[in-house]
Chains A and B, each alone.
Chain A
Amino acid sequence: MRRVAITGVGAISALGRNAAEFAESLRRGRSGIGPIQSIDCSQLRFQNAAEVPEYSHQPYFEDRRADFMDRFAQFAVIAAREAVASAGVQWTAAVRENAAIVTGSCVGGQTAQDVGFQELYKLGRNRVHPLTIPRTMANAGASHISMEFGITGPSFTVSTACSSAAYAIGQAFWMVRTGATDLAIAGGSEAPFSFGILKAWEAMRVVSPDTCRPFSKDRRGMILGEGAAMFVLEPLEAALARGARIHAEIVGVGMSSDASHITQPSADGAARAMRAALRDAGLAPEQIAYINAHGTATQANDIAESAAIRTVFGPHAGKLAVSSTKSMHGHALGAAAALECLATVTALRDGILPPTANFNQPDPECDLDVIPNQAREAQVEYALSNSFAFGGLNAVLALRKG
């Protein structure tokens, strides 16, 4: 089995248009949460989210190309371009034929779907735009990345709600580790800001009216986010041989299902995913020094996740640093785990652990070192990135400093 290196990173999010801006925002503890700009929120109970500010397809895509792409697919390609450029991938016919793409998306092209349905239901028209289907399909991100680089190997999309990108990255990691592919582009993208989707989230009563305060006693729920993060994965040995920069290593992935409730989190399911990741990586719990938490800032998640961490790590849980960067980039659903994997990679690479922003008050039921509000310098060898989804589908990535 081969060791797997992350040789390229790319991101677009509320925290900036590239991975460096993302890292800088995390280092400063700067939150990208603010009033929603892209749609009218006067009929919503919440007004804040973590949007990519003032996004336009220009200068990224010519108008005619952008016609074919929903916002979420554009984000996927923008992040993949940066990841590929930073990895310095040399495209040959053989590389293109062998390379794989695995993307995560929860809701696909919601803007395109919403526009189409408004035409029918609200404006009373009898037809929708003929590109509504190809814009909406959840695999559009993977498809557009394949066309962007001429990649003809296996490309597909994983949809497991809020853990989609962790499943995607984990699957790509396994493909590179086993030799199924020598190069994978993996990550997640999401752009969930349509009026219909926001109304659906409002109805679930889990969205905060102000901001996202993970693990804080006064937390009031999640804040939705958008964006994409993509990674280039290669066998470590080959990457070192060609002199590539190693941002970090992926050393394991653990997956589990709660098999209990469609929305309520289970500490047991979360614990089993963390244990599975440690087992897959061949690590003892005591070797982990940082966890990028799922940390949605809902009442239920943060309590269940804290309990799960206590269960898996025992006394070592008190020595762990745990933070939720959703407090800054929001909950980007199918892209969340990709942004959080990048936050974890950045922490290992730069020796700076990102904080849990907007933190006010410790909660006895979330009794962990959550790195409140200020980033912390620390050289860490191993870290986990937790992702738990509605539907009870959990995935945890284990990473090592490069």
Chain B
Amino acid sequence: MSDELIQRVLKVIATSKRIPLETVMIESDFLQLGIDSMDAVEILFALENEFDISIPDDEVRSVRNVRQMCEGVERLAAAKPAAKQ
């Protein structure tokens, strides 16, 4: 994963949850950050906009931490048709 992608994901989480960016780390899990299921849905919405991707419901069921979230975004962004880039 590129640092740039990780930084963008961290920023989306911090902005959406309205917490300081420095409190969000690649090793953080959602429980630590106080992210509940509704917060997570908002973050997914913000990630879809940030990366111009569509995140299927099935992809998110098992995601519990920031690293898994970054990996998912990377996979979906890579699979995106190149035409728009």
List residues of A whose CB falls within 8 A of some B CB: 45, 203-205, 209, 220-221, 261-264, 300
Contacts and interface: CB of A to CB of B under 8 A. Distances in A.
B27 interface: no
Given A45-B57, A205-B57, A209-B57, A264 B36 contact: yes
A222 to B, nearest CB: 12
10 residue pairs, one from A and one from B, having the closest CB atoms: A263-B38, A205-B57, A205-B41, A204-B41, A203-B45, A264-B36, A264-B37, A45-B57, A264-B38, A300-B37
B26 interface: no
A267 to B, nearest CB: 15
A204 to B, nearest CB: 6
Given A45-B57, A264-B37, A300-B37, 11 more contacts: A45-B56, A203-B45, A205-B60, A209-B57, A220-B57, A221-B57, A261-B36, A261-B38, A262-B38, A264-B36, A264-B38
Contacts of A204: 41
Contacts of A205: 41, 44, 57, 60
Contacts of A261: 36, 38
Contacts of A262: 38
B62 to A, nearest CB: 12
Q: Main SS of the interface on chain A?
A: loop
A204 B44 CA distance: 10
Contacts of A300: 37
Contacts of B41: 203-205
Contacts of B57: 45, 205, 209, 220-221
A5 B41 CA distance: 44
Contacts of B38: 261-264
Contacts of B44: 205
A203 B41 CA distance: 7
A300 B36 CA distance: 12
B56 to A, nearest CB: 7
Q: Which of B38, B56, B57 has the most CB of A within 10 A?
A: B57
Contacts of A45: 56-57
A262 B56 CA distance: 24
21 contacts: A45-B56, A45-B57, A203-B41, A203-B45, A204-B41, A205-B41, A205-B44, A205-B57, A205-B60, A209-B57, A220-B57, A221-B57, A261-B36, A261-B38, A262-B38, A263-B37, A263-B38, A264-B36, A264-B37, A264-B38, A300-B37
Interface string B37-68: 11001001100000000001100100000000
